[in-house]
Amino acid sequence: MIIMAIVSTRKLKSLNELSSKHIQVIEEFEKLLEISISGLTMADIAAKLKVSLRTLYEIAPSKEHLITATMNRVLTNIGQEASASIKGIQSPLSKLKMYIEIGYAAVGPRIKKFSTDLSKVRGVGEMADYHRDYFVARIEELLAEAIASDEIEDTDTHVVAIALGDFPRLLSDDFFEGKTKLKNTPEASAHLVADLILDSLERK
């Protein structure tokens, strides 16, 4: 029997509130998650990371919150990387394609390592939903810019943004568990569908 832990993200400190030492601990904890921390207590984790238990509790009040805080940092970094990558690009459509390419990394190995431990944390979806909503909103903005620059056909930007932003979740391994297997990775499959949508909208 798996005991589900309920996590409220309101109890999490924002990344701006964390010290450089705390960020370093989260980075090391992320590496530990690649191996899985199933069965480990906060004391065990502190010992493996060679930090005090007090330091861990300064970051998060429980192991589940620590996992969520780490996932938040990974997703935030992906979002910042995507935003930084498009700053020097003039074409809104090219910006959109680059933004999606990096954003879809969230369905790849960088998040896959969390799957085992996150499956035991009920409520962590709130964190993922927050990041996905931001991703969708930014896609919608870039679609509107591409329409304004006459690079793509006029379309319902909100609907298309939801489709493009939600494909990673719909194609994830968790969603497909026990169902038909994908021919490619969820990340590659999401890119395939995104390319089909954008190619159909692009003015030739």
Residue 43, both tokens: 């004391």
> Could you give the number of structural domains in the chain?
1
Indicate whether 179 belongs to any domain: yes
Residue 33 lies in a domain: no
Cα atoms in the 13 Å half-sphere on the side-chain side of 5? 18
Is residue 59 in some structural domain?
Answer: no
Which are the contacts of 28, defined by CB distance < 8 A and separation ≥ 6?
49
User: What is this structure's pTM?
Assistant: 0.76
Task: Select from 99, 80, 79, 83 the least CA-distant residue to 194.
Answer: 99
Could you list the pLDDT tens digit for every one of the 204 residues in the chain?
333 333 444 455 555 577 888 888 988 988 887 777 778 899 999 999 999 999 999 888 888 888 888 888 888 888 888 889 898 899 999 999 999 988 887 666 566 666 655 666 665 677 778 888 999 999 999 999 999 999 999 999 999 999 998 877 766 655 445 556 777 777 788 888 899 999 999 987
Q: How far, in whole angstroms, is CA 34 from its chain's centroid? A: 16
Q: Is the Cβ–Cβ distance between 11 and 65 less than 8 Å? A: yes
Distance CA 16, CA 13 (A): 8
Domain range enclosing 80? 67-201
In this structure, is residue 192 part of a structural domain? yes
CATH number at residue 185: 1.10.357.10
Domain-embedded: residue 160:
yes
Query: Is 153 a domain residue?
Result: yes
